[in-house]
Amino acid sequence: GDFLSVVQMKLPVKIVVFNNSVLGFVAMEMKAGGYLTDGTELHDTNFARIAEACGITGIRVEKASEVDEALQRAF
């Protein structure tokens, strides 16, 4: 939803997604409430491709050594 909002509203922003393959805050709240955390683990989602599908430049970083170059390209 955020990607589409950026495009539709022509916002001059950059979005950085830190993907650790889990909805951590949701899982924490579910555990605190005594619920199972089913559905909070994510498969390897390529958010860069999702951004591109929305019309935004997407840059995927898989190694720490790639971060500086990716940020320079984005900004």
* Residue 23 burial class via C-beta count within 10 angstroms: exposed 0-12, middle 13-18, buried 19 and up: middle
Q: Lowest mean pLDDT of 3-7, 41-45, 46-50, 63-67, name the range.
A: 41-45
pLDDT for 20 equals 85
pLDDT for 60 equals 96
pLDDT for 74 equals 92
Q: Do 57 and 51 touch, CB atoms closer than 8 A?
A: yes
Cα gap 32→44, rounded to integer Å = 26
Q: Please indicate, yes or no, whether the overall pTM of this predicted structure exceeds 0.85.
A: no
Domains of the chain plus CATH, in order, are 2-74 (3.40.50.970)
